[in-house]
Amino acid sequence: MPLRVAGIKGVVMKDGKGIQHRVHPILAVYVGDYPEQVLVTGVKTGECPKCDIIPDELGSPTPGNGRDLQKVHAALACVDTETYHDVCANAGIKPIYHPFWERLPYVNIYHAITPDILHQIHQGILKHLLSWLTRACGATEINARCQRLSPNYHIRVFPQGITGLSRVTGKEHDLMCRILLGLVIGVRLSDNFNPARLVRAVRAFLDFLFLAHLPRQTSQTLHRLDHALKAFHENKSIFIDLGIRDNFKIPKLHSLHHYITAIKLFGSTDNYNTQYTERLHADLTKPAYRASNARDELPQMTRWLERREKIYQRSKHILTRQAHQQASDINHTRIPVPCIVPWQQMRMTRHPSVQRVPIEDLNIRYGATDFRNAFAWFIVQQRRPGIRSAQLEREIPYVNLPFTTVSVYHRIKFRQVDQEQKSSVADVLHIQPSRHNKKGHIVAGRFDTALLHNGQANQTGIRGKR
């Protein structure tokens, strides 16, 4: 049934309890990046798809008035007249031919356009801000401050700096936001400019970003969101004074004014963020395009995805049948539940970080003072499981290691899974000695402490670990 007919006459649907209701589905929100918003609303590139502000005032701290939908509908009704171009220009839109939302009931496409944190902030304003800060502070100083940051939990360390990175993803921009304020505090600007306004502008932008990310919004958080945006506009002139910018006529910067209104209408921004759908490009779009001949790719990509889905469904069916067959063959006796060791889900690179490291260097560079005895202890345990401690100590000196070098991995990724396999926490274990970077500077080493479970499920605390 077409959406227009369903919106007017309604359609019967069942809820989670199986009770039937007559509902009237309508187009409430339209999620997309700026080019898609411009295409759908019919406005020109460089204009706001939600309000009638002129392009020369996009950098002002106040938004414009909402677009007149009735005036736009009146212009679209003149599609077959000779004055159609002039009427559309007067209404503030391009001469488009019957957009899909023209006849949909109870739809205001200009209200339905939602904020987009991924493209507007992470890949938009933040990208501009990083380039402004690089010109204001200098790429060398920014990268040096990145290298001086001490490692912390859930903090990405950029050992080569951030100014030379290319093809930065939205997730990487989000990780940069966590250290951005620390990179500009106390920085020295050219011509002896006071960096206070620069720090206040960066802090106001980060406050707006983190407040806009909140999964729950209240009147207090919205007030702080508005205050952060006003603070950024009050201090952004520092970039003009430094000669970095001439104006702030950026549509994505102007779009921040509409966040509060959109949150009041449609809820928190995680309900309509394009980041949830953009991540599917890596799994569905890009491999499908590479499988085509890059000519008339759409039907080829569709066919490729359809075949992959059929293969997946067939494989899942075979695994289900095998599981039922195995369940019917085994003896239905009570099997003890094994202890789920949190460190089972480890991930390591295919190739080691350093190859052929002499065992003597393990003591000097890595601090592995007891590597020979520990490795001999492991070999004896594998050869003779259940051996007593006294016998184990006596056999260790007689173990001969037929090698003098080993391969070393500097990072181990793992997931800590709970007993019911319901949640997991990703983390990384770093083991890396001090080294010289490309510029000849010494980079401090990092050795994280790890507790290894010895298999005793009843032990609590640090007991049962080594």
Asked if 431 and 410 touch (Cβ cutoff 8 Å), the reply is yes
Q: 341: closest CA among 222, 451, 214?
A: 451
Q: Which of 114, 123, 184 is nearest to 149 (CA)?
A: 184
Task: Print the SS3 string covering 164-176.
Answer: CCCCCCHHHHHHH
And the tokens for 167? 């093809």
Where exactly are the structural domains of the chain? 3-112, 117-279, 291-325, 345-447
Angle between helices 126-137 and 139-148 (to 10 degrees): 100
Supply the pLDDT for residue 43: 94
The Cβ of residue 25 has, within 10 Å, a number of other Cβ atoms equal to 12
- pLDDT at position 335, please? 45
Q: Cα–Cα distance between 306 and 44 in angstroms, integer?
A: 37
pLDDT at 342: 46
Q: What pLDDT sits at residue 385? A: 82
Between the CA of residue 408 and those of 201, 398, 421, 431, what are the distances in Å?
45, 25, 31, 9
HEC profile for 59-97? CCCCCCCECCHHHHHHHHCCCCCCCHHHHHHHHCCCCCC
Q: For residue 125, which amino acid is it?
A: I
**C-alpha to C-alpha distance for 158 and 141, rounded to whole angstroms:** 14
Q: How far apart are the first and last CA of the chain?
A: 64
* Predicted pLDDT at 420: 52
Per-residue pLDDT of the chain (466 residues; tens, 9 = 90+): 788 999 899 999 998 888 999 999 999 999 999 999 999 999 999 999 999 999 999 989 888 899 999 999 999 999 888 899 999 999 999 999 999 999 999 899 999 999 999 999 999 999 999 999 999 999 999 999 998 888 777 788 888 889 988 888 888 999 999 999 999 998 988 888 889 999 999 999 999 999 999 999 999 999 999 999 999 999 999 999 999 999 999 999 999 999 999 999 999 999 888 888 887 877 888 889 998 998 889 999 999 999 999 999 999 999 988 888 877 765 454 444 444 444 457 778 888 888 888 988 888 888 888 888 888 888 888 888 888 888 888 888 888 888 889 999 988 887 766 555 555 667 788 888 888 877 777 777 888 887 776 655 555 555 556 6
C-beta of residue 253 within 8 angstroms of C-beta of residue 121: no
Contacts of 370 (CB under 8 A, 6+ apart): none
pTM metric for this prediction: 0.70
Predicted pLDDT at 16: 84
HSE toward the beta carbon, residue 361, CA cutoff 13 A: 12
Task: From 114, 133, 123, select the one nearest 29 (Cα to Cα).
Answer: 114
Query: CA–CA separation, 98 vs 457, rounded Å?
Result: 67
pLDDT of residue 281: 79
With b meaning 16 or more CB within 10 Å and e meaning fewer, what string describes 182-220? ebbeebebeeeeebebbbbbbbbbbbbbebbebeebeee
Give me the long-range contacts of 320-324 (CB less than 8 A, separation at least 24).
none
Query: How many other β-carbons are positioned within 10 Å of the β-carbon of residue 78?
Result: 16
pLDDT at position 424, please?
A: 61
Q: What are phi and psi of 245, to 5 degrees?
A: -125, 150
Which of 175, 233, 189, 228 has the alpha carbon at shortest distance from 206? 228
